């Protein structure tokens, strides 16, 4: 049997799933934890405002990367993880785009893997990916020695590196990239969007809209930040309705199954009539030109018998499936 490849949906994080930059969202908790000064907070806020107003182009992204690597030099990794874990829900929860959450839910319902792929550092992205229910994530990795950041970056999830990471994941998890999806707000993610069959730009500026037209990418507008908690509560609230609909469908199975014997009986009757209609003649009585017609009639009879057998088998299978589903509902 041929192996069936899986489909994945790759999401940029900053300004695609969340309406801010990850590093800016955690600046205040890092300050409260004693890792940054008031002056560094002010510079980060200024850089973030510029980022939000002018977009995630190569220059802005590189500025944020350099600022973060310099800022993080000497930080204790364990303390950073502790601060991020304690503040992820409070800082990220209110910033999630409703439209992004709907897309993530739709991809999961279709059986697709959801992958977060972000230029932000691993220690910030990992808890967010977990909070969002992502199957996998890719993020920038900073070099660590003796439990502290050195200020060097060992892997920068940016530009072409994102596309390479996507291809590596496709090899590892058997993704069919020609049928996979990617979403980003940044012109620097062109390689990522080109790596899949269905690229989509989010809240594009003029340059990105132009690229979308040239590459045939879809365009979406995300404009409604909500709390992740409210999105989850709405999803959970809808479960009883979906369960009730499923039960209603299951309840129709006995009626369907009950009608199968009658349909099988009708098929048998047709087969019997067709069989009886075939005249019994000897080989000598059949003219050469009529022998083909006789073969065709015999073939019709054989097909009818096969249909009857298949219908009986189907009835048995449906009865077993009905009993199994009813047992699951009862459980």
The residues carrying an active-site annotation are 12, 14
**Do 221 and 209 meet the contact criterion of CB atoms below 8 Å apart?**
no
Q: Is the dihedral of CA 78, 71, 118, 87 positive or negative?
A: positive
CB atoms within 10 A of CB 63: 14
Contacts of 79 (CB under 8 A, 6+ apart): 33, 35
Packed helices 288-330 and 260-276: angle between N→C axes, nearest 10 degrees: 170
CB atoms within 10 A of CB 156: 18
Q: Going edge to edge, which strands form the sheet with 113-121?
A: 148-155, 136-145, 113-121, 8-11, 181-184, 198-202, 218-220
Six token digits for residue 146: 């003796």
**Do 22 and 120 meet the contact criterion of CB atoms below 8 Å apart?**
yes
Token match 């009950």: residue?
258
Provide the H-helix boundaries in 158-238: 160-173, 190-194, 206-215, 228-237
Residue 202 DSSP SS3: strand
What string of DSSP letters covers 247-271?
Answer: HHHHHTHHHHHHTHHHHHHHHHHHH
């Amino acid at each position: 049997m041929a192996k069936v490849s899986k489909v994945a949906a790759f999401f940029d994080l900053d300004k695609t799933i969340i309406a801010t930059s990850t590093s800016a969202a955690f600046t205040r908790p890092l300050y409260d934890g004693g890792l940054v000064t008031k002056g560094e907070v002010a510079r980060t806020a200024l850089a973030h405002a510029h980022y939000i107003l002018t977009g995630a182009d190569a220059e802005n992204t590189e500025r944020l990367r350099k600022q973060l690597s310099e800022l993080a030099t000497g930080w204790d990794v364990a303390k950073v993880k502790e601060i991020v874990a304690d503040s992820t829900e409070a800082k990220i929860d209110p910033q999630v785009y409703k439209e992004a959450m709907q897309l993530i839910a739709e991809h999961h319902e279709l059986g697709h893997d959801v992958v977060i792929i972000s230029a932000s550092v691993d220690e910030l992205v990992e808890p967010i990916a977990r909070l969002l229910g992502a199957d996998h994530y890719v993020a920038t990795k900073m070099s660590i020695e003796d439990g502290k950041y050195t200020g060097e970056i060992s892997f920068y999830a940016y530009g072409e590196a994102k596309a390479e990471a996507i291809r590596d994941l496709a090899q590892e998890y058997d993704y069919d990239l020609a049928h996979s999806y990617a979403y980003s707000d940044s012109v620097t993610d062109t390689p990522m969007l080109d790596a899949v069959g269905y690229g989509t730009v989010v809240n594009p500026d003029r340059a990105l809209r132009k690229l979308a037209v040239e590459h045939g990418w879809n365009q979406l507008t995300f404009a409604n930040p909500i709390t992740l908690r409210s999105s989850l509560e709405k999803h959970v609230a809808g479960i009883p309705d979906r369960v009730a609909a499923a039960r209603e469908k299951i309840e129709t199975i006995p009626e369907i199954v009950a009608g199968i014997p009658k349909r099988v009986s009708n098929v048998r009757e047709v087969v019997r009539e067709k069989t009886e209609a075939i005249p019994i003649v000897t080989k000598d009585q059949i003219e050469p030109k009529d022998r083909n017609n006789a073969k065709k009639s015999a073939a019709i009879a054989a097909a009818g018998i096969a249909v009857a057998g298949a219908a009986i088998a189907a009835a048995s299978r449906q009865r077993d499936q009905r009993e199994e589903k009813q047992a699951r509902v009862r459980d």
